[in-house]
Amino acid sequence: MVFWILVAGLVAAVTLAITRPLMRPSSPPADAGDADIAVYKDQLKEIAADEARGALGVAEAESARAEIGRRILRAAEGSSRPEPSSRAAGQNRFIKTVSIATSIALPLASLGLYLLYGMPGLPGQPLSDRLATATDSNKPNDLIAKVEERLREHPEDGMGWDVIAPVYYATGQYAGAATAYQNAIRLIGETPRRLQGFANARIHLENGIVPEDARKALERVLQIDPNATEPRIWLALSKEQDGRLQEAAADYRKLIDEAPEHAPWRKALEDRLANLGKDTGGTPASGQANAAPAAPAATPSAGNPDAAAIMSMSPEERQAFITRMVEGLAARLKSDGSDAEGWVKLIRAYQVLGRRDDAVKALTDARANLKDNEVGLAKVDSLARQLGLGS
């Protein structure tokens, strides 16, 4: 209610202010030439003052005066008194119409537009208010905010981190989840659940590639609980990503053999194994050779020299390094073409390197590989449009 009163007050004040000049009796506009002459007269005064102060020499002042004198004459010539308006009455009626129309249109239009775009019913929600009422309101976001606020004040509260970590994970904030799990592990100890959570968050963050720290966490889980299946699946995948294809295939086979009949991941593993089979079974040697350079691309934290090292390379070395990374990625995608993100990276990399033909070829391969993956296909297609590659 207060809001609407304020709005009404604002509209009324502004409308009144704007239409006020229209309410006054009319006065004939001054002639523009008069304004010019006023300026020139001011200039003459200025020259006199300058001369008196000694800032301007007598001769200079004289010639400046002559100059302005000429301007005044010119202005006076062009000046003419305006005819008194013969349509004064008609004009007054017109002004009245204008002023009424404005007074009606301004409030109506502003309110109309506001109702169209605004959300008058939605109160402001400063964070401090939300935190104060969070436990009553039961809104998940407010509760998260409350826990976060508490963790900022007590960053050593391990239980808090343990509570918030799965929430972050569930809402897709993988970086936050990884940090939260890490803190919980540091403060209140390792459990398989926390280690596994940390590994999952890291893997998500790296778009499905198993990074070094996640691998270590998974190995710890297996040490604590040798029967856990999930870490074994990820570790097998990590071997595949490292190019140790034979070992990965062996692990997959073992997992499938031990798997319960209706395990939901069984099918996925069989697919992966079949994919590997094409590479390792057909021409195992070349498969190995192709996949080996994939290592640096696949495990960024392990194989990548850091940015400063890249900076200190000579341009040729840098070029060679980049090429090696790209080739590694290409090899990995050749062995497993299901990674849409990988394809996107590869196409983009070729484009940046100016290898347009390779980019087009990679695009074709990507489409063939992703034909059953609608989301991935859409990503690749949109990239192709963006880069202007042939469709």
d(CA 197, CA 180): 10
CB nearer another protein, residue 14 or residue 73: 14
CB of 195 to another protein, least distance (A): 21
Contact residue for another protein among 48, 76, 114, 135 (CB under 8 A)? 114
d(CA 254, CA 144): 41
> Does 58 sit near another protein (CB under 8 A)?
no
CB of 342 to another protein, least distance (A): 23
> Does 40 sit near another protein (CB under 8 A)?
yes
CB of 47 to another protein, least distance (A): 6
Q: Binding pattern to another protein, positions 134-163, x when CB under 8 A?
A: -----x-xxxxx--xx--x-----------
d(CA 239, CA 220): 16
Angle of helix 284-291 relative to helix 245-258, nearest 10 degrees, comes to 110
> Does 18 sit near another protein (CB under 8 A)?
yes
> Does 110 sit near another protein (CB under 8 A)?
yes
> Does 281 sit near another protein (CB under 8 A)?
no
Q: By CB under 8 A, which span of 114-122, 264-272, 357-365, 368-376 interacts with another protein?
A: 114-122
d(CA 47, CA 43): 6
Angle of helix 58-78 relative to helix 32-53, nearest 10 degrees, comes to 170
CB nearer another protein, residue 201 or residue 291: 201
CB of 94 to another protein, least distance (A): 8
Indicate if the alpha-carbon torsion angle 142, 147, 148, 150 is positive or negative.
Answer: positive
> Does 181 sit near another protein (CB under 8 A)?
no
d(CA 366, CA 345): 11
The full DSSP string for 348-380 is HHHHHTT-HHHHHHHHHHHHHHTTT-HHHHHHH
> Does 120 sit near another protein (CB under 8 A)?
yes
CB nearer another protein, residue 109 or residue 274: 109
Contact residue for another protein among 122, 285, 368, 375 (CB under 8 A)? 122
Residues 282-321 that bind another protein (CB under 8 A): 305-309, 311-312
CB nearer another protein, residue 39 or residue 274: 39
Going through 155-281 in order, the beta strands assigned E by DSSP cover: none
Contact residue for another protein among 47, 195, 203, 383 (CB under 8 A)? 47
CB of 173 to another protein, least distance (A): 10
CB nearer another protein, residue 166 or residue 192: 166
Instruction: Specify the residue for token string 């990995």.
Output: 332
> Does 61 sit near another protein (CB under 8 A)?
yes
Largest CA distance in the chain: 111
CB of 169 to another protein, least distance (A): 14
The kind and range of the H/E element at 311 are helix 307-311
CA angle 280, 244, 371 (to 5 degrees): 60
Contact residue for another protein among 26, 135, 286, 364 (CB under 8 A)? 26
Measured in residues, the chain has a length of 391
Structure token digits, residue 208:
């499905």
Q: Binding pattern to another protein, positions 331-370, x when CB under 8 A?
A: ----------------------------------------
d(CA 107, CA 309): 64
Contact residue for another protein among 80, 84, 86, 128 (CB under 8 A)? 128
Q: For residue 47, which amino acid is it?
A: I
Beta-carbon contacts of residue 321 (< 8 Å; ≥ 6 apart): 305, 310, 313
Is residue 253 within 8 Å of 273, Cβ to Cβ? Answer: yes
Residues 87-106 that bind another protein (CB under 8 A): 91, 95, 98, 102, 105-106
Contact residue for another protein among 69, 82, 208, 284 (CB under 8 A)? 82
> 3-class DSSP state for residue 172?
coil
- By CB under 8 A, the count of residues binding another protein is 86
d(CA 335, CA 287): 8
Structure token digits, residue 186:
């540091």
Contact residue for another protein among 12, 48, 63, 281 (CB under 8 A)? 63
